[in-house]
Structure 1
């Protein structure tokens, strides 16, 4: 790889990122919330002795409902909080560790309650919701005097809720409400719809913000077209300052195609008899749990562009983990095995670089012979032709070191997506200070060690080209990688650290055992 081009690329990326940040702050500042201002300005002053006026059913908007008026139902796996006014699910907690599924109101105002799952916005339920024990768990019912009835069936164990809606006047049931501003969508991931063999998804924030190229006509993203399966990413890590991977999901399954309102979200209407039944998955994005809900739902697992390769690699990693129960040690063994599989390709790359180092003096002499011709393109073509002939005489392919690296890129990218997304690594303990392989290293030890191994590996690898550029890249690239890996999951850092250590051993062995070949001029 041309070191000069790499330096130019790195500098360009830094400049572009800085320019992007400045432009977004300049032209798209955070807007105030007009709804809250209007509500505050228009609210008439009430005498202290006057009783509060109940809201009419037509004004029963979940965003205006008092979030404190909730009812909570627990199972072995979930803690589900419902709004009493409209029957919407306001929050879900994973009981194993108390992880919330949805954004909730923060004391510092950094986020607002998510609008909710389920519920009927146009109906105001009356009285206290009824909670009953069932053979499989619990059921909670919301009713009105007019005959409306919304029931959720929460299993004692498992993640799939049954939902039944009986509408006296055919009112639609809410599925997933669209957040109205950035605070409501704070830390949310994707909203998606599922077909039999495909998934269409959009990040919530891509619908909240104008794109960078809006000045040339680029528009905000919109909700995916509705199907009979609609859902969203869920699960907010409590200790994270910003949300990375979402390890849970909320997915609706209907017997009909949902209705899509680009401004409000997804809803479903009852049939001619005023009945509607649905299922709601509230659980981990784990292959077994999702496939148990239905085969199409495994598409929710986001393994990136090289998804098929990621799935194969994860299957291998799980086979290793079934023998070695600790996920950290399983990753370590997996890294060793993968490095052994890629050993021939890495050998070819290293040997090509060693041979290139041997040929470099003759290459520079040839280039010096043509320096007097300056930028004469004809002479440059002659030099290139003579240089390629020199390489051919010595059986050297200048691309021989790059092609093996390019062949490995799909594997690296697939591993990146896989280790950065799998639920199994969440809260997985390895050893010592590494108590969660899905979270960043709290003391940044692994990223720093990774940078050190990169420097050591570059020092061990035969290098060609300009010496000043080599010195610059010797520390620039490792420093960038340390900065980058500082916020990535520890499991990913562990994999690359082991991969680099084995690579250092391979480079040392090849440089010691390499036998020079005669140079044909």
Structure 2
């Protein structure tokens, strides 16, 4: 095999490795995963929307959580109640105080003092502006319980403290807004008065301050806690490159990313920490509890049996607080419950000093490429108003950045194509003498100053950028439901058209075909990408071996089908990058005296032979 063909094969193998890796680590093709997720979300939302969140007085199921134990640990989930309730029924079991801010709406349950009803005003289930808004937190007893709770545990002295059954008192007509905090009170009847002040900012951060006044005659020792609980194993997309599950940062052990199945096997993991944060994350949304930056806590990730499923919990337990007679003690924590917006998450990390809070967004191992790439795209987006256009502009900038290297690479490939007649003559001359053939070829390369390896450099450069853009499109909520032009309404989703139903003219969904359905979702942009890839490959030296030539001829078609189920933003990027490469390579080839036979190849593709030289 000649050096130029070996380089081309290497370049293609590298590209194929990236694409096959995505397919392998995804487990199930992306379109099928998204369809399953959409179906489940639709079913959940139908139950959730039986009552608009935050509009009626509501509550949770009694006994959904055991009272705070006397062992000095946060409360854990008890067995599920016998009767399954709708979200509306679960909400209706407790008096509530409304939450209403510019970005969230919901209620605080007076029974238990939980924040367990929260929806995000700015986000909807689909691109349809009339679709339901995202419901993040839900009460125990209903479908998909997911809530936050703060409080005290009494430890060995067995002092009566508020539990999930405690009904707090709120001022008449109270509403929690970003301007007005909510104050709850409860008297245990044994000399302790509990006071909880909840405030929320303009985004997704709640501040919870718990105070205890001791009017008794003896000192009391308590430990503050905060927890996030989620009942039932939620549907996850199952992608290797995306973490969904329990997450947190502790000062001693760093970042924790724990899958649901792993904690279900281990049952519990505890880590000492000073500050930090921990919670449960989905792809775009998360709920985390955050102790004070200097507070020493025991952080715990746990799972307990809940009927035939599990309940998952992250919690922290603070150091013992002793309250002397006549004294008042206070403890506090924060709750983040909302969308994982880069600007918002980074802002909390900076303004509140939360340790590595930006890792709530799964930037991955290539953080140093992925996040800067997003920030660049986002900065350009703010100027042009379209993420798709921003991606195109960033592609041009990247091309310009690597132009000197690409220029040398394409120049080398042009020279290699120019000496193809000489190489062919050598093959005919030396026949099966591979050693002599390689020696003579290297002499030609040395004489013409050709670097056989240089042809792989553009692909090698493109792979990390491809990965970073794929990650950015996949994990950042800013790309969710971001439109381009025409039929592309969501750059993070695959092209919704497909040639196999004539781009929507035939009322049939090829994706429903078992096993191969996702390969039939071949939209306009994947086809454009395949054409640009074919054009780029035709500019390279053609392999003399018929088998190799056949493989290379089929490669654009294979890539077209493989990329058909990828995010449309990624496919648009690849098509645009190929187009720029074709233009760049054509200009360089002409400058090196090589004829660009792209048009001849197009005619040959459609059955017309190249005109014979006269």
Report the TM-score, using the length of structure 1 for normalisation.
Answer: 0.70
For residues 483 and 260 of structure 1, the distance between their equivalents in structure 2, rounded to whole angstroms, comes to: 43
Does 2:206 correspond to 1:155?
no
Q: Deviations over 1:289-320 (max 9, x none)?
A: 23432324334343333323334434433443
Does 2:399 correspond to 1:399?
no
- Aligned position for 1:57: 67
**Contact in 1 for aligned 2:297/2:317 (Cα 8 Å):** yes
- Counterparts of residues 63-102 of structure 1 (less than 5 Å): 64=80, 67-68=90-91, 69=93, 71=96, 72-97=98-123, 98-101=133-136
- Aligned position for 1:113: 145
Tell me: CA distance 1:82–1:336, structure 2 relative to 1, closer, same or farther (3 Å).
same
For residues 466 and 250 of structure 2, the distance between their equivalents in structure 1, rounded to whole angstroms, comes to: 29
**Contact in 2 for aligned 1:429/1:437 (Cα 8 Å):** yes
**CA positional deviation for 1:364:** 6.1
Q: Which residue of 111, 127, 137 corresponds with 2:180?
A: 137
Tell me: CA distance 1:469–1:142, structure 2 relative to 1, closer, same or farther (3 Å).
farther
Secondary structure of the 1:505 match is helix
Relative to structure 2, which stretch is displaced further, 4-13 or 246-255? 4-13
How many residue pairs get matched?
456
Q: Deviations over 1:426-464 (max 9, x none)?
A: 333333333333343333433332233223332343333
- Aligned position for 1:452: 531
**Contact in 2 for aligned 1:75/1:137 (Cα 8 Å):** no
- Aligned position for 1:329: 389
Q: Deviations over 1:357-400 (max 9, x none)?
A: 34456556667788767xxxxx85x7655543442233211111
- For structure 2, the residue ranges without an aligned partner over 5 or more in a row are 1-6, 29-60, 70-74, 124-132, 154-162, 213-219, 304-313, 324-328, 351-355, 498-522, 596-614
Greater strand fraction, Structure 1 or Structure 2: 2
**Contact in 1 for aligned 2:196/2:210 (Cα 8 Å):** yes
- Counterparts of residues 342-357 of structure 1 (less than 5 Å): 342-357=402-417
**Contact in 2 for aligned 1:126/1:142 (Cα 8 Å):** no
**CA positional deviation for 1:202:** 0.8
- Aligned position for 1:240: none
- Counterparts of residues 363-382 of structure 1 (less than 5 Å): 363=423
For residues 361 and 74 of structure 1, the distance between their equivalents in structure 2, rounded to whole angstroms, comes to: 75
**Contact in 2 for aligned 1:346/1:405 (Cα 8 Å):** no
Does 2:339 correspond to 1:290?
no
Tell me: CA distance 1:279–1:474, structure 2 relative to 1, closer, same or farther (3 Å).
same
**Contact in 2 for aligned 1:303/1:417 (Cα 8 Å):** yes
Secondary structure of the 1:163 match is strand
- For structure 1, the residue ranges without an aligned partner over 5 or more in a row are 22-51, 211-218, 236-244, 374-378
Does 2:316 correspond to 1:267?
yes
For residues 284 and 12 of structure 1, the distance between their equivalents in structure 2, rounded to whole angstroms, comes to: 29
**Contact in 1 for aligned 2:204/2:338 (Cα 8 Å):** yes
Tell me: CA distance 1:227–1:446, structure 2 relative to 1, closer, same or farther (3 Å).
farther
- Aligned position for 2:47: none
**CA positional deviation for 1:468:** 2.6
Does 2:568 correspond to 1:508?
no
**Contact in 2 for aligned 1:141/1:152 (Cα 8 Å):** yes
- Aligned position for 1:252: 290
**CA positional deviation for 1:263:** 2.8
For residues 452 and 476 of structure 2, the distance between their equivalents in structure 1, rounded to whole angstroms, comes to: 39
Secondary structure of the 1:95 match is strand
For residues 18 and 388 of structure 2, the distance between their equivalents in structure 1, rounded to whole angstroms, comes to: 35
**Contact in 2 for aligned 1:451/1:478 (Cα 8 Å):** yes
Report the TM-score, using the length of structure 2 for normalisation.
Answer: 0.61
**Contact in 2 for aligned 1:129/1:143 (Cα 8 Å):** yes
Q: Deviations over 1:407-433 (max 9, x none)?
A: 444334333333433343333333333
Relative to structure 2, which stretch is displaced further, 301-310 or 60-69? 60-69
**CA positional deviation for 1:163:** 0.8
Q: Deviations over 1:185-240 (max 9, x none)?
A: 78872533336899513143462578xxxxxxxx99967764512134646xxxxx
**Contact in 1 for aligned 2:272/2:296 (Cα 8 Å):** no
Secondary structure of the 2:399 match is helix
Tell me: CA distance 1:425–1:461, structure 2 relative to 1, closer, same or farther (3 Å).
same
Tell me: CA distance 1:447–1:389, structure 2 relative to 1, closer, same or farther (3 Å).
same
For residues 591 and 417 of structure 2, the distance between their equivalents in structure 1, rounded to whole angstroms, comes to: 16
- Counterparts of residues 179-190 of structure 1 (less than 5 Å): 182-183=233-234, 189-190=244-245
For residues 551 and 19 of structure 2, the distance between their equivalents in structure 1, rounded to whole angstroms, comes to: 16
Does 2:210 correspond to 1:170?
no
Q: Which residue of 111, 116, 127 corresponds with 2:167?
A: 127
